[in-house]
């Protein structure tokens, strides 16, 4: 087994202490939003002597991250594989450079995500049944948006809300939505958030996000596993490029049940090219293929076929390439 060190991302929404403490670093005032354990060119993990992870494993189809959010991340959706391939080809044909801020598709891969909470973690994920939501709006005397939702349905309401014309955000919001409005005062995406499942994951619970599922991570710390892609379409809670029309095109406007899920027999549900297994302290992980192991206490490692690792402290999450659905 080989110890690996992640590439750190200092995005402004990051928490200043969680990831540094996890990695045994001294926290500073600088936010550390993400720690990437993978071979993605935008942030590759390295061994103790600085060797890039890909020199050992080749290019991995998945990546593992710690994320630590002190502020909400953008309201976003990820494309399917077909949509990513089409979008990548379309933007190349249009002559957009790789770092053009208008570029949406940065590669030709989909980006299904698994997020496993390490601390209580709040998020918006998928849509409630719109009839129930309209009833909730009416019970709160939000007549205008109740009427609009009943008249236009989920897709029409989202289109109208993000156009920022006829609808206004109510004053008497529940605390989670008021916090979003206070962080993003003039952002009509707050109206979209009111249609969505607001969830608080307990440590160990997860979200397994397929293409097309609208989501926003709001606060907390987690392990995240995803395909090695950077394709994100944003519509709110961000200063980055937003693309309402592309978001409307690729978002699934089907209502969904409560999205909180759990591991079964230690295996997390997966929607992508990865498989994630949780191992408690004291257990031994035996690798039957290249495995990235991150732990909540101590170092993280890559195991090659035949290697093993005993979890001496904390909880370990072991990720391997799975079969894409
Ligand atoms: Zn996402």
Compute the distance from residue 78 Cα to the ligand 1 centre, in Å: 6
Find how far residue 28's CA is from the centre of its chain: 25
For tokens 């570029």, name the residue.
Answer: 103
Its pTM stands at: 0.94
Compute the distance from residue 232 Cα to the ligand 1 centre, in Å: 7
Over residues 209-234, the pLDDT tens digits come to 999 999 999 999 999 999 888 889 99
Over residues 228-284, the pLDDT tens digits come to 888 899 988 887 778 899 999 999 999 999 999 999 999 999 888 899 999 999 999
In the chain, domain spans: 72-273, 280-320
Over residues 13-65, the pLDDT tens digits come to 999 999 999 999 999 999 999 999 999 888 999 999 999 999 999 999 899 99
Compute the distance from residue 309 Cα to the ligand 1 centre, in Å: 30
Over residues 104-152, the pLDDT tens digits come to 898 888 888 999 999 999 999 999 999 999 999 999 999 999 999 999 9
With a CB cutoff of 8 Å and minimum separation 6, the contacts of 162 are 188, 189, 192, 235, 236, 244, 247, 248
Half-sphere exposure in the Cβ direction for 189 (13 Å, CA):
26
With a CB cutoff of 8 Å and minimum separation 6, the contacts of 21 are 27
Over residues 162-202, the pLDDT tens digits come to 987 789 999 999 999 999 999 998 899 999 999 999 999 99
What's the start-to-end Cα distance of the chain, in Å? 29
Over residues 60-79, the pLDDT tens digits come to 989 999 999 999 999 999 99
Joined together, the tokens standing for residue 240 give 């980055």
Compute the distance from residue 287 Cα to the ligand 1 centre, in Å: 28
Angle formed by the axes of helices 130-139 and 143-163, nearest 10°: 120
Compute the distance from residue 243 Cα to the ligand 1 centre, in Å: 15
pLDDT in the model for residue 324: 52
With a CB cutoff of 8 Å and minimum separation 6, the contacts of 266 are 277, 278, 279
Compute the distance from residue 1 Cα to the ligand 1 centre, in Å: 30
Compute the distance from residue 307 Cα to the ligand 1 centre, in Å: 32
Compute the distance from residue 75 Cα to the ligand 1 centre, in Å: 8
Compute the distance from residue 197 Cα to the ligand 1 centre, in Å: 15
Compute the distance from residue 113 Cα to the ligand 1 centre, in Å: 7
Compute the distance from residue 220 Cα to the ligand 1 centre, in Å: 15
Compute the distance from residue 112 Cα to the ligand 1 centre, in Å: 8
CATH architecture of 72-273: Sandwich (2.60)
Compute the distance from residue 21 Cα to the ligand 1 centre, in Å: 24
Confidence of residue 325 (pLDDT cuts 50, 70, 90): very low
Joined together, the tokens standing for residue 77 give 């959706």
Compute the distance from residue 227 Cα to the ligand 1 centre, in Å: 11
Compute the distance from residue 170 Cα to the ligand 1 centre, in Å: 27
Compute the distance from residue 189 Cα to the ligand 1 centre, in Å: 16
Phi then psi for residue 308, to 5 deg, are: -140, 165
Phi then psi for residue 76, to 5 deg, are: -150, 170
């Amino acid at each position: 087994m080989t110890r690996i060190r992640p590439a750190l991302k200092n995005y402004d929404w990051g928490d200043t202490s969680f990831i540094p403490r996890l990695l045994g670093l001294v926290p500073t005032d600088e936010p550390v939003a993400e720690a990437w354990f993978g071979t993605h060119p935008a942030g590759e993990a390295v061994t103790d002597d600085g060797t890039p992870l890909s020199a050992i494993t080749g290019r991995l189809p998945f990546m593992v991250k710690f994320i630590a959010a002190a502020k909400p991340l953008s309201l976003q959706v990820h494309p399917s594989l077909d949509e990513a391939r089409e979008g990548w080809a379309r933007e190349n044909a249009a002559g957009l450079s790789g770092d053009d801020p208008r570029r949406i598709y940065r590669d030709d891969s989909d980006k299904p995500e698994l997020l496993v909470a390490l601390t209580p973690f709040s998020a918006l994920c998928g849509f409630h049944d719109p009839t129930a939501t309209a009833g909730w709006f009416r019970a709160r005397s939000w007549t205008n948006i109740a009427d609009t939702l009943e008249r236009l349905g989920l897709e029409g309401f989202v289109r109208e809300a993000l156009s920022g014309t006829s609808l206004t955000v109510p004053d008497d919001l529940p605390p989670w939505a008021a916090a979003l409005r206070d962080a993003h005062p003039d952002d009509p995406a707050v109206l979209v958030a009111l249609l969505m499942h607001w969830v608080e994951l307990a440590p160990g619970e997860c979200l397994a996000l397929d293409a097309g599922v609208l989501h926003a991570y709001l606060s907390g710390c987690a392990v995240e596993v995803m395909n090695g892609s950077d394709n994100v379409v944003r519509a709110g809670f961000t200063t980055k490029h937003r693309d309402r029309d592309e978001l409307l095109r690729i978002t699934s406007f089907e209502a969904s049940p409560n999205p909180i899920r759990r591991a079964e027999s230690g295996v997390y549900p997966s929607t992508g090219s990865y498989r994630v297994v949780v191992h408690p302290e004291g257990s031994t992980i035996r690798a039957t293929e290249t495995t990235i192991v991150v732990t909540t206490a101590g170092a993280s490692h890559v195991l090659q076929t035949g290697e093993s690792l005993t979890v001496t402290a904390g909880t370990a999450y072991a990720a391997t390439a799975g079969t894409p659905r």
